[in-house]
Structure 1
Amino acid sequence: MVYTIQLSVSGDFDRVVETTIDALKDEGFGVLCDIDVQATLKEKLGEEFRQYRILGACNPTLAHEGLSEEVELGALLPCNVIVYETDDGEVMVSAVDPQQLVGIANNEALDEVANEVHDRFERVLASVADAFEPTSEA
């Protein structure tokens, strides 16, 4: 099952992260949390890991609409967007596909919100692609 929408680009990792955050803001999303997985695994386990960031993105208006329809939706929020180094040195930007995510709630009232978030995430990836050389899209 495919549960993300993604794009691989050539570019400096930190610049890709910054561009992704800016593109999220342009689409009305705030980044509620920014988890540096590489630093966390090094600090907590002493383990080396690729550059990997988890951005917890939330659009307050859309979150309110979704939560108004399904109060338990909060267990699936915020929507995560990840940016990580691939084995071949590219940078992958991957967003959870909200259409798949809300499908587990089995509530058709969430479809419109999920479609809107999906479209916004597609535009976020398009903005990143405009700023860097895409190597693949999935």
Structure 2
Amino acid sequence: MEYTIQVPVSGEFDEVIETTIGALKDEGFGVLSDIDVQATFEEKLGEEFRQYRILGACNPPLALEGLTEDIELGALLPCNVIVYETDDGDIMVSAVDPQQLVGIADNEALDSIATEVNERFERVLASIAEDFESPTEA
């Protein structure tokens, strides 16, 4: 079962991060958390790891609507968007598929919210793809 939607790009990692944050903002999402997995593994474990960031994205009006329908939905929030370096040295931007995520709750009242978030994430990824060259085009 696939649980993410994604787009591969070629570019500088930090530029892809900034573009991703900007594209999320354009779709009404704020980044509530930004976890640098590479730095965390180095600091806590002394282990090297590829560049990997987890952005916890939240659209407050949609989050309010979802939590109003199902108070336990907070256990699935915020929606994560990950940006990481692939084995080929390219960058992958990947967002959780909210329709798969909300399917866990088994609450039909959340379906329209998940569809809305999914459509917004698709536009975020399309925007990122427009700003960077696809690895297959390089």
Instruction: Say whether the fold is shared (TM-score over 0.5).
Output: yes
Which residue is equivalent to 2:83? 83
State the match for 1:130 in structure 2.
130
1:1-138 correspondence to structure 2 within 5 Å: 1-135=1-135
Look up the SS of the partner of 1:134 in the other structure: coil
Unpaired segments ≥5 residues, structure 2: none
Task: Return the letter of the residue paired with 2:17.
Answer: V
Distance 2:65 2:130 in 1: 30
The aligned length equals 136
Q: Give, in angstroms, the shift of residue 49 of structure 1.
A: 0.1
Alignment partner of 1:2: what SS?
coil
State the identity %.
79
Which structure carries more strand by proportion?
1
Amino acid at match of 2:84: Y
Find the aligned partners of 2:97 and 2:38 in 1 and give their Cα distance. Answer: 24
TM-score (normalizing by structure 1): 0.97
Gaps of 5+ in 1: none
DSSP-derived class of the 2:135 partner: strand
What CA deviation, in whole Å up to 9, does each residue of 1:4-46 have, x standing for no partner?
0000000000000000000000000000000000000000000
Root-mean-square deviation (CA), in Å?
A: 0.7
Q: Which runs of 4+ in 1 moved over 2 A?
A: none
Q: TM-score normalized by structure 2? A: 0.97
